[in-house]
Structure 1
């Protein structure tokens, strides 16, 4: 029996036996595929919903008619809409996202050039949020449980509310003015090394970090009041083990649901940060393309951002199932 046949046999046996994990993955996978299809369809229709002729708009009103028609033919926009749609779907499977109206460069090459810088920024911001918010939230929950240290609790609440309320754009501009222009500690803009990452990552991470820390504190406080935590204390388990092995995993189950929304927002939040710091990623590219009316590039970047948000939600769903498989899989 070949490996492929064996795998198929395992899947068939799992399906017949009603494996909850297989059903969960099939449902979540199917929902993800359906969401991607809706996103792709919306991205395709974007260029056709623009008032007027997008090619004429991109090339300018004074462009010769034969040049406009030639560009329309090169982009396939002279074909019936249904033909364009299926061609667009087929091209996506081969990595072809179209041709830039202005530079005549393949859009996939533009994405490949710009995407690593955006992923670097987003990944570092997510890492900062998780590595900082979790210990801060747990520490504050332990320090203020049972109504202790009211002053510390009030200070934490005020600081996190203020930080979460500051718009990313305003925070980014403030960071540039204070730490780049005034103090000269970091580069003002561009990607010139490790120091150039500090300010944009900070601008992206501060708001979600504050919200995430507040969520973790509230959930850990709720968990610490449960009977099984009292039982663990009665058994004289080490506090570190109680907090890391019992309290934190149970607190993260409900926190992850809202965390998915925060992290998905960070994916698109890179647009503002990149434009403030002139970061060479997709965020600056999409703004330039909108201003230049380069619709195929805008279309592709919107698709990339949308798939990124959907992937974050899928990962959060799987993480929830791993942390609490019985309730998550049963409810799915």
Structure 2
């Protein structure tokens, strides 16, 4: 049978040519750079972490804003006193923007935050950013010193205890180490601070009782903050090291008759500190929060004593600003820990992608 419109086909073309599909259009050109960038697991890891940070900061800012409005009573009346004239209270409320609607106050609060404006202190009249800037260095110095001492004390101690108690040896040493670690970790920072002040400052007179001065003034506050985290981290390092010492590559290193220092420090320690750094990041967040009570015990001129004084004086803008600084600090520490763990173990970033 003759194919319809066969006379329109080119010469030599059969029925199959008439039913053959038309060639597809060439694909649209793609940007290989963008495609490769989106496929990079490190880029996806960074975007995911930064996205979580942005959401967490927004939640923190919103919670700090709502906190002021959930406090019973009028914060302006509480800060000015019950005998303040109504005209003064109304003027102060207008200056602080508390007479506007909540959505308007929230948008104004966000706009001021983006501009670096944390408000004005109700008691001193100084900008909150200036108050925090004057006290923040003392808190950061105390927290960083305590964290460094906790790491420098816990990692060698945990590694040493793992080597000594490996294979069920020295059961009494293991029991003493575990019991002491649990006891020290259970003592609150402020209670330990009071005990250290009584023994080493009041009774023995080795260190100053309070205040921030020379190197000696750091010893007792740093010891109060670092003792609990160091005890927890030392136990974690011991457990992780024990599991690493039973790995095949450690047996291979011993079979090659490598020196014990090389086996423990070069092969065992780097693989045992991954979980330690994870817990250390969480403990650093709690350590920063623990400075609030310890600073008040030692009259340390930091944010911890500032927030307590502001709560007692009902200076809510300062309280709000300090809460934001503490919260953002903890979030940045967690972000740094995630990045450090990804660099130590790139498989975590790749597999999570």
| TM-score, normalised via structure 2 length | 0.88
Matched residues in 1 for 2:34 and 2:127: separation? Answer: 42
C-alpha contact 2:41 2:349 (8 A) present in aligned 1: no
Q: In the TM superposition, what whole-angstrom CA distance separates every residue of 1:74-101 from its partner, at most 9, and x where no partner exists? A: 1111222112112211211222100111
**In 2 relative to 1, CA 197–55 (structure 1 residues): closer, same or farther, beyond 3 Å?**
same
Matched residues in 2 for 1:161 and 1:143: separation? Answer: 19
Matched residues in 1 for 2:95 and 2:211: separation? Answer: 34
Q: Note if 1:275 corresponds to 2:296.
A: yes
Deviates more, 1:173-182 or 1:321-330: 321-330
Corresponding residue for residue 33 of structure 1: 54
Deviates more, 1:76-85 or 1:298-307: 76-85
C-alpha contact 1:138 1:217 (8 A) present in aligned 2: yes
Q: CA deviation at 1:70?
A: 1.1
Q: In the TM superposition, what whole-angstrom CA distance separates every residue of 1:125-144 from its partner, at most 9, and x where no partner exists? A: 00101111111111111111
Corresponding residue for residue 204 of structure 1: 225
Secondary structure of the corresponding residue to residue 165 of structure 2: helix
C-alpha contact 1:14 1:22 (8 A) present in aligned 2: no
Corresponding residue for residue 308 of structure 1: 329
Deviates more, 1:98-107 or 1:322-331: 322-331
Q: CA deviation at 1:35?
A: 0.2
2:265 to 244, 251, 266: 244
Matched residues in 2 for 1:260 and 1:121: separation? Answer: 16
Q: Where does 1:123-272 land on structure 2 (aligned, <5 Å)?
A: 123-272=144-293
Matched residues in 2 for 1:255 and 1:278: separation? Answer: 32
Aligned residues: 323
Matched residues in 2 for 1:193 and 1:59: separation? Answer: 38
CA RMSD, Structure 1 to Structure 2 (Å): 1.5
Corresponding residue for residue 40 of structure 2: 19
Q: In the TM superposition, what whole-angstrom CA distance separates every residue of 1:249-298 from its partner, at most 9, and x where no partner exists? A: 21112222222221110010000110000000000000000011110000
C-alpha contact 2:147 2:284 (8 A) present in aligned 1: yes
Corresponding residue for residue 101 of structure 2: 80
C-alpha contact 2:137 2:302 (8 A) present in aligned 1: yes
Matched residues in 1 for 2:149 and 2:102: separation? Answer: 45
Unmatched 5+ stretches in structure 2:
1-30
Q: CA deviation at 1:113?
A: 0.3
Q: CA deviation at 1:10?
A: 10
Structure 1 segments, 4+ long, off by >4 Å, are: none
C-alpha contact 2:42 2:349 (8 A) present in aligned 1: no
Q: CA deviation at 1:245?
A: 2.1
Unmatched 5+ stretches in structure 1:
1-8
C-alpha contact 1:97 1:108 (8 A) present in aligned 2: yes
Q: In the TM superposition, what whole-angstrom CA distance separates every residue of 1:178-203 from its partner, at most 9, and x where no partner exists? A: 11111111111111221111100000
**In 2 relative to 1, CA 14–114 (structure 1 residues): closer, same or farther, beyond 3 Å?**
farther
C-alpha contact 1:263 1:312 (8 A) present in aligned 2: yes
C-alpha contact 1:58 1:292 (8 A) present in aligned 2: yes
